[in-house]
Amino acid sequence: MSLKNIKNLILVVFLGFLLTACATSSRKPGKDYYTGSDTVKFLASGVPDRVFFATNRSSLHSGAKGTLNKQAAYIKSSGISVVVEGHADERGTREYNLALGERRANAVKDYLMSQGVASSKITVISYGKERPVNPESSRLAWSQNRRSVTVKSK
Amino acid sequence: MKKIFFILLIVFLNTNLNAAVKIDITRGNLEPLPAAVSDFYIDNPEKFSEGIKKLNLESNLPKVIKNNLKRSGLFYILDKKSHIQKPKLSHLKPRFEDWSLIKAQIMISGKIKIDEKGRLRVEFRLWDVVSAKEIEGLALFATPKSWRRIGHIISDKIYQRMTGEEGYFDTRIIYVAESGPKDRRIKKLAIMDQDGANNKFLTLGNELVLTPRFNPNSQLVTYMSYFKNLPRVYLLNIETGVQEIVGDFPGMTFAPRFSPNGNKVIMSFAKDGNSDIYTMDLKSRVVEQLTSHPSIDTSPSYSPDGRFVVFNSDRSGFQQLYVMRSDGRKVKRISRGKGLYGTPVWSPRGDLIAFTKIFKGKFYIGVMRTDGSGERLLTENFYQEAPSWSPNGRVLIFYRETAARKKGVGASSKLWSIDITGYNEVKLKTPSDASDPSWSSLLSK
């Protein structure tokens, strides 16, 4: 194998790492939120239904705020009411995760309200770790499961 | 209201306090005590109906006892095939040489009859083979269909006689039976005897149910249900099936437990992203707020004297354990080690707090003294949590999940128990996957 081939191989391996790193984001505390688009559905055209959280956190990173800005605009223009579901990954105790899911859903509710959505249009519910979207036990799956999902009220 | 069971009478035939054989359960038992459980003999087979005959009580009742003693980790049960003496003579006049020949240190014998009122009368004797003496003898009366409970009560008597502490065999476990894929899991409340027999489902699985816990003094259970998509704490009477919501909270209530006298439910109430601890008196309906802190406060558990509450809070930034007075004052952090701590449960003996610890991606079940000192981790695994105490404070039951591969393949959730010595880790048999176990008090108390 020539030196050039080896270089290419190393580059491919390196790019592979980068891609994985992008999908699950960073392993640093507070930064391991999911940044990919798998599992994401849409509340309306161009309006993603969910935002993701870092382990044990309920703070909204800038990407999440971008998504919620779109949600807020859509909720206001369409007049719909929504339910914000808060979820946690499976790497925590059940009861704490119920509280954490509630905290995440409320972080989203508060942000939507700060963008002008009326409080009466939003209800929250926490599912803790009970309803994962990806059932695998992996860092990627856990990052996809640490989420809030905004759905239209029935 | 139907009585589940009744024992009319327990007659003490003999209690000899000077036994040579004893078991120390405060240390891990590496050498279980060799015990022989003889088959019982039937005194009046002509009085046995076909239905009762089919139960094969002469071997199945001793089998219940054998399984209990074996699973306690304290006894080694000698193979029935090695027994030399027949059941009847073993009970009436044992030849101790025969039993000591097969290395038994204790021997259990018994007699079963149907009395004139149609009741089952079971007599058992516990023999100290080493000093060639009877050390315990009892006669129990019950309805024939309650025969397994007789086996459990006898097991408790043996355990108590040998260890000096109350047993935990005449008890039940309430838990969540799980089925279906992980992302659409179906969960039902289920109840079974502590040995896995008499499994029964209490809900149909139409809504998500979590964290059932026994009232220490009655047939009431408290649990969390997503009935009508409103996650709230409920009460269930397991005899009548009557369910009722606890309080009228404008948001999620969860993590319920009873106070030691059973009169209150302590739980978390989540509002606007903040969870605090509340109690509700079940008679007066008076609600009290115990914590008021912008952090998550959850998983409360009373001390057995009702004076303190241990709970889980992330007020330091991460999940840790705290103790407060039961009026909510004098909050003090007790967990000091590295890692996260959750699900604290106060031992019914009052001396220890069991917990789940998360450290470097692993989950541990551990115990610590009530001031946080003397932390001991009993078992490490990929995922396990939610310990619940045996009524004598010697054994913990918890659930353990396995890691899932793609699409959830390989996921499972099972109940396990472990002695607080760290020995005797045992998987419990359940008809389906299981989680959130809660151990009842002794039923006959």
The model's pLDDT over B332-349, given as tens digits with 9 standing for 90+, comes to 999 998 999 999 999 999
Q: Of A90, A96, A125, which is closest to B342 when you measure between CB atoms?
A: A96
CA–CA gap between residue B296 and residue B317 (Å, rounded) = 10
Residue B290 has pLDDT above 50, yes or no: yes
- Does residue B1 fall inside a structural domain? no
Residues B191, B148 share a domain: no
B224: confidence class by pLDDT, cuts 50, 70, 90: very high
The number of C-beta contacts closer than 8 angstroms across A and B is 104
Residue B44 has pLDDT above 70, yes or no: yes
CA–CA gap between residue B270 and residue B296 (Å, rounded) = 9
Boundary-marking domain end, from B163, B181, B211: B163
- Does residue B350 fall inside a structural domain? yes
Cα-based distances in Å from B6 to A105, B2, B153, B342, B442? 50, 11, 12, 39, 14
CB contacts under 8 A, B 123-152 vs A, are none
The strand pairing partners of B12, in sequence order, are B138
**In sequence order, what are the residues at sequence separation of 6 or more whose Cβ sits closer than 8 angstroms to the Cβ of residue B317?**
none
Query: Sign (positive/negative) of CA torsion A23, A29, A30, A31?
Result: negative
Instruction: Give the pLDDT confidence of B347-382 residue by residue, as tens digits.
Output: 999 999 999 999 999 999 999 999 999 999 999 999
Count structural domains, chain B: 2
- Chain B hits for A107, CB-CB cut-off 8 Å, are 273
Q: Quickly tell me which residue has 């707090």 as its tokens.
A: B353
Instruction: Give the pLDDT confidence of B196-209 residue by residue, as tens digits.
Output: 999 999 999 999 99
| DSSP class of B73 | T
pLDDT of res. B445: 67
Fold classification of A3-152 is 60s Ribosomal Protein L30; Chain: A; (3.30.1330)
Question: Residue B20's Cα: distance from chain center in Å?
Answer: 30
- Does residue B275 fall inside a structural domain? yes
Residues B371, B296 share a domain: yes
Boundary-marking domain end, from B129, B163, B197: B163
Q: Which of B45-49, B287-291, B400-404, B435-439 has the lowest mean pLDDT?
A: B45-49
Domain that holds residue B343: 172-439
CA–CA gap between residue B140 and residue B341 (Å, rounded) = 45
Instruction: Give the pLDDT confidence of A98-140 residue by residue, as tens digits.
Output: 999 999 999 999 999 999 999 999 999 999 999 999 999 999 9
pLDDT of res. B218: 79
Residues B200, B317 share a domain: yes
Residues B178, B124 share a domain: no
- Chain B hits for A130, CB-CB cut-off 8 Å, are 185, 208, 210
Specify the higher pLDDT residue, B17 or B238.
Answer: B238
Residues B143, B263 share a domain: no
Residue B82 has pLDDT above 60, yes or no: yes
Residues B384, B307 share a domain: yes
What CATH number is given to the structural domain containing B362?
A: 2.120.10.30
Residues B152, B15 share a domain: yes
Average pLDDT, chain B: 93
pLDDT of res. B22: 72
Residues B290, B261 share a domain: yes
Q: Quickly tell me which residue has 């880790």 as its tokens.
A: B425
Do residues B259 and B279 lie in contact, with contact meaning Cβ atoms separated by under 8 Å?
yes
Residue of chain A whose Cα is closest to the Cα of B209 = A130
Residues B230, B130 share a domain: no
Residue of chain A whose Cα is closest to the Cα of B405 = A136
In terms of Cβ atoms closer than 10 Å to its own Cβ (0-12, 13-18, 19+), residue B355 is: buried
Residues B193, B336 share a domain: yes
Cα-based distances in Å from B188 to A124, B174, B207? 24, 11, 8
Min Cα–Cα distance to chain B from A14, Å: 24
Boundary-marking domain end, from B141, B163, B185: B163
| DSSP class of A63 | H
The strand pairing partners of A86, in sequence order, are A126, A148
pLDDT of res. B4: 40
Residues B250, B147 share a domain: no
Instruction: Give the pLDDT confidence of A16-54 residue by residue, as tens digits.
Output: 444 444 455 677 778 999 999 999 999 999 999 999 999
Residue of chain A whose Cα is closest to the Cα of B276 = A99
CB contacts under 8 A, B 190-249 vs A, are 208, 210-211, 224, 229, 231
How do B33-37 and B75-77 pair as beta strands? parallel
The average pLDDT across B213-220 equals 90
Residue B12 has pLDDT above 70, yes or no: no
CA–CA gap between residue B58 and residue B44 (Å, rounded) = 12
A94-114 and A62-78 helices, crossing angle to 10°: 60
Min Cα–Cα distance to chain A from B198, Å: 27
B343 at the A interface (CB within 8 A)? Answer: yes
B273/A106 CB distance under 8 A: yes
Q: B358 by DSSP, 3-state: which?
A: strand
CA–CA gap between residue B427 and residue B444 (Å, rounded) = 25
Residues B157, B81 share a domain: yes
The beta strands (E) that lie in B294-407 are given as 297-302, 308-313, 320-325, 332-333, 340-346, 352-359, 362-369, 376-381, 383-389, 395-401
Residue B171, phi then psi, degrees to nearest 5: -145, 170
What CATH number is given to the structural domain containing B100?
A: 3.40.50.10070
- Does residue B247 fall inside a structural domain? yes
